[in-house]
Every structure is written in structure tokens, then in C-alpha cells.
Structure 1
Amino acid sequence: MTSESSFVQPAIPRFNGHYDHWSMLMENFLRSKEYWNLVETGITAGSGGAESSDLQKKALEEQKLKDLKAKNYLFQAIDCAILETILKKETAKDIWDSLKQKYQGTARVKRAQLQALRKEFEVLHMKAGEIVNDYFGRTLVIANKMRLHGERMEDMVIIEKILRSMTSKYDYVVCSIEESNDLDALSIDELQSSLLVHEQRVSRQVVDEQALQVTY
């Protein structure tokens, strides 16, 4: 019989400087351990004073133990340089709030970053000689950054952007895709696959033409 302890435990997300991405992963990790509520709201049991009931005291001790475990996960997620700046923080909530204040940035900075990403996405076009996979990679990197900054970036928006910004040698296949598919139901992976097939077909034609020229 397979025991519960034999399952692979999820790795603790390491903070690499990208706060928004890390905080999303870390929150999910702490939720899976059932510690997130404590990190979010702090210790909420009674003060544990002389007038507290035994039940209140027990609840407080349980929360303190959970808080220590949550702090341990947070300590393991950050490197020594950052750890030294938060050693005096007493609870997991204190640590989380401190990291958020230090690394998330102000709302004004985030708005400016999102505006710059929107502009970059707007002017994005496929470069001459660029292959399909590379262009999809560049586009998705920008789109995912926009999402991390709070933009509601639907797949449909990305699909439409790619279709209208391909180089002219893809005009035929782009028209074919738009005429034969419901773009609302088309996935990014399906679009990429269709364009890759066209790219490979064009490449084979070029090779065949070059071979014929050499023959004659």
C-alpha cells in the first residue's frame, strides 16, 4: 500500500527577484499547507492572558506553532541577504507584509510598467527571417508580463495580434486560418501548429527550387 509520506512533496518556491510571480507560487504553496489564512490575517486567537479560557489558550498555542512552521517555509524561500533584513519580524504575516512592501513596488510604478508593456505589445511585429517559434516566444513573454502586472490578457487578443503582425509570406495561410476557423475557439497552440506546418512547407519548396536550379 502506498503511504501518504511516499508522495513527492512540492518544492518551496525560491524568491528570485520577480516578486509577483514568486508571491503567486508561494501563496499557492502556503494554501496547500493550510497556512495561508494565518499568513494573510495573522494570529487571531485570544491574548492568552489570565482570564482566557483553556480553550482560547490552546487555540493560541496552535496558531503560534503554525506560525512558526509558516515562518520556516518563508525563511527557506529567501536567500541570506534578504533574510538579514527581516530577522526582527515576529510573525509570518510580518515577514510577508515586509517582503510585499519592499519588492512589489508602488501602484504608480506598476502602472508605468504595464503602460510600457502595452506599447511594446502594440508595436510588436514579426521580423524578416524570424521563425514562427521565436516570434511566438517573443509575443508570449510580453503577454505574460502584462498578465503579471494585472492586465486581463485573453488568448483571443494574442491570436489576433499574431495573425495581423506576421510577415507577408504568411498572408495566404493567415487568410486561410481566418476563413476556416472560429477564432474564438482557436487556441494559441493550434495557431502555432498551423503556422509551423506552413513554415515547413515553404522551407521544403525553397530547398526543392534550389535543387532544381543546381540540376539545370
Structure 2
Amino acid sequence: MAMGRLPFPMLTRMNYAAWALQMKYLLRTNSVWSVVDRDEKATDAMNVSQNQLALSIIFQSVDDETLLRVLEKETARDVWAALRSMHVGVERVQEASVQSLRADLDNLKMSDAKSVDDYAEKFMMLVGHIRADVPCDVDVAVRSGVARRKWCCT
């Protein structure tokens, strides 16, 4: 790999939210986010070249199967919208998973048979699972879980 060149984040079935955030900043860094973010079609030469650069960056971050599914799209905005719609169901599954983990976090109690270390380990494991599923929402999830926590030792 060349010096100073970062690898593009690869889109998988389970990482759309994190991928989209990384790609947004990568496209901004290359001054082409505006062609993805706005409604109008690329008309002048500058917009056409920005659209081509944005498409190139996006295409390098998806696998061959996904590339073939969005190849007929003409603009970076259309490709971005298609990728988002392909992964909406995955996000719903992740949301359900996080809700389940939050419920586990809310119901976590320290019993007489367990040590503080066991309790802390289970707590951190649940937080880690929430972090893995929804990186942007973890602080809110953890804070709300801790705020609602019943700190009894029954």
C-alpha cells in the first residue's frame, strides 16, 4: 500500500451504519460529498468529475455482488440511495438486537451467589455487544441503562 493512502472501508451485510458514516467523511475529505447529498443532477464539467470521483470511491468500498446490483445507477446520489435501501432491513434487525440487549442490561441484577467481578464482567459484556451493534448509540444506551439501574444486591 502506498504511503499516506488509507484503505476504503468495505460494506458488509452488518456494518451499514458505521460504513455510511466512514464513507460520508471520506467523501467529504475528497470534496465530493455534495454530489451525494444534493438533489440536482450533475451538469457542468466540475460536477460530472466530482460525481465520477464519488462513484469511484463508493464502488471501491463494496463487494462485487453489491457492485453489480448498483452498477446501472448513473449518479453517486442514486447509488448511495440504493445501498441505503438494501440495508434498511439489516438496521431493523440491529435495532431489535440492541433493544434486547438494553432489556438485558436493565434486568441485570447482582445475586448473592455472584461476585462484584462477575457482575461487572456481565455488565461490560452487554455494553460491548451494544457497542458492536450500534457504535453511534452506545453512550446513550449505556447512560440510559445506568440511569435506570436498580442498585440493589438481592
Q: Same fold (TM over 0.5)?
A: yes
C-alpha change, 1:146 and 1:69, in structure 2 (3 Å) is closer
Partners of 2:149 and 2:130 in 1: how far apart? 12
C-alpha change, 1:139 and 1:163, in structure 2 (3 Å) is farther
Partners of 1:143 and 1:83 in 2: how far apart? 30
* Counterpart for residue 29 of structure 2: 32
* Counterpart for residue 19 of structure 1: 16
1:151-190 to 2 correspondences below 5 Å:
153=140, 156-157=143-144, 164=151
* Superposed displacement of residue 79, structure 1: 0.3
* Counterpart for residue 51 of structure 1: none
Residue 141 of structure 1: which of 112, 125, 128 is its match? 128
8 Å Cα contact 1:147/1:153 also seen in 2: no
What TM-score, normalized by structure 2, do the two folds share? Answer: 0.71
Partners of 1:110 and 1:66 in 2: how far apart? 33
Backbone CA RMSD of aligned residues:
3.7
SS state of the match for residue 38, structure 1? helix
Equivalenced residues, count? 148
Partners of 1:134 and 1:151 in 2: how far apart? 17
What TM-score, normalized by structure 1, do the two folds share? Answer: 0.53
* Superposed displacement of residue 69, structure 1: 0.5
* Counterpart for residue 186 of structure 1: none
Partners of 2:139 and 2:40 in 1: how far apart? 34
Larger radius of gyration: 1
* Counterpart for residue 92 of structure 1: 76
Unpaired segments of 5 or more residues in structure 2? none
8 Å Cα contact 1:12/1:77 also seen in 2: yes
* Superposed displacement of residue 68, structure 1: 0.4
> Alpha-carbon deviations, 1:56-85, whole Å to 9, x = none?
xxxx11100010010001100000011111
8 Å Cα contact 2:35/2:42 also seen in 1: no
Partners of 1:163 and 1:11 in 2: how far apart? 45
SS state of the match for residue 59, structure 2? helix
Partners of 1:82 and 1:11 in 2: how far apart? 18
Partners of 2:10 and 2:127 in 1: how far apart? 23
**Once structures 1 and 2 are overlaid, which stretch shifts more, 20-29 or 76-85?**
20-29
* Superposed displacement of residue 125, structure 1: 5.0
**Matched letter for residue 76 of structure 1:** Q
Partners of 1:32 and 1:156 in 2: how far apart? 32
1:59-74 to 2 correspondences below 5 Å:
60-74=44-58
The structure with higher relative contact order (CA 8 Å, sep 6+) is 2
* Superposed displacement of residue 161, structure 1: 7.1
Instruction: Percent identity, please.
Output: 22
* Superposed displacement of residue 132, structure 1: 7.6
Partners of 2:123 and 2:4 in 1: how far apart? 33
Partners of 1:118 and 1:159 in 2: how far apart? 10
